[in-house]
Amino acid sequence: MRARITVAILVAVLGIYFWFLTDRALLLIGSGEIVGVGLGVGVLLLPLIGIVLVVMELRFGAASARLSRRLQSEGVPPEGADLPRRPSGRVERAAADEYFGTVKDRVEADPDNWRGWFALGEAYELAGDRKRARAAIRTAIELESRGDAAAPGDQTATRSNPPE
């Protein structure tokens, strides 16, 4: 719930910022001067690009949360829940690397299973590689939207067990 409130506040602040940028862009365009019109068009593109990026991020967040809830409803525990952690709460590096290897092998064995890709994204996140984590989760979202690779009762439906 806290994350949703934070996202709502940030989106509202960005909305206000985009509103002010659009207002300034329209003032520049309305000046009628060549330089003002050129700058106004350039400034007007910033809120448009920002809106597209915010919508893309919100869609990604909603889709990844949906997949996580789906796994949770199937009784699958979160990835890495049983890994040893440091006092800070982060997973110990050696354990994360070993775990990552098992998840990667599972994905290579069954590349069309969205659950494996989701687990790989979580493993990347545990290892601290956000860019690859997001890419793996995007792949999981795409695969899941095309159709389920495994039935919920299947062995591949578990996050931490490799497919047979």
Does the pLDDT of residue 163 top 80, yes or no? no
Q: Which among 39, 73, 107 is the end of a domain?
A: 73
pTM, two decimals, is 0.72
Does the pLDDT of residue 161 top 50, yes or no? no
Does the pLDDT of residue 61 top 60, yes or no? yes
DSSP state for residue 86 in the 8-state scheme: -
Q: At what angle do helices 114-127 and 130-146 cross, to 10 degrees?
A: 170
Residues 6+ apart with CB under 8 A from 131: none
Asked if 101 and 64 sit in the same domain, the reply is no
In a domain, 134, yes or no: yes
CATH number of the domain enclosing 136: 1.25.40.10
The model's pLDDT over 28-54, given as tens digits with 9 standing for 90+, comes to 999 989 999 999 999 999 999 989 999
Asked if 59 and 108 sit in the same domain, the reply is no
In a domain, 39, yes or no: yes
Asked if 7 and 47 sit in the same domain, the reply is yes
In a domain, 64, yes or no: yes
The model's pLDDT over 113-141, given as tens digits with 9 standing for 90+, comes to 899 899 899 888 887 788 999 999 999 99
Asked if 8 and 62 sit in the same domain, the reply is yes
Asked if 58 and 119 sit in the same domain, the reply is no
Q: Say if CB 73 and CB 58 are below 8 A apart.
A: no
pLDDT score of 71: 87
In a domain, 142, yes or no: yes
Which alpha helices (DSSP H) does the chain contain, by range? Answer: 2-30, 34-73, 93-109, 114-127, 130-146
Asked if 68 and 99 sit in the same domain, the reply is no
pLDDT score of 18: 92
DSSP annotation string for 119-139: HHHHHHHHHT-HHHHHHHHHH
Averaged pLDDT for residues 3-27: 92
When divided into structural domains, the chain yields a total of 2
Buried b (16+ CB within 10 A) or exposed e, 103-142: bbebbeebeebbbbbbbbbbbbbbbebeeebeebbebbbe
Residue-number span of the structural domain to which 30 is assigned: 2-73
In a domain, 99, yes or no: yes
In a domain, 81, yes or no: no
Provide the β-strand partners of residue 85: 91
Q: Say if CB 58 and CB 25 are below 8 A apart.
A: no
Q: Is 159 exposed, middle or buried (0-12, 13-18, 19+ CB in 10 A)?
A: buried
Asked if 98 and 64 sit in the same domain, the reply is no
Asked if 15 and 48 sit in the same domain, the reply is yes
Q: Which among 44, 73, 102 is the end of a domain?
A: 73
Q: For residue 97, give Cα distances in angstroms to 40, 84, 126.
A: 50, 12, 9
In a domain, 88, yes or no: no
| 146 compared with 75, residue with greater pLDDT | 146
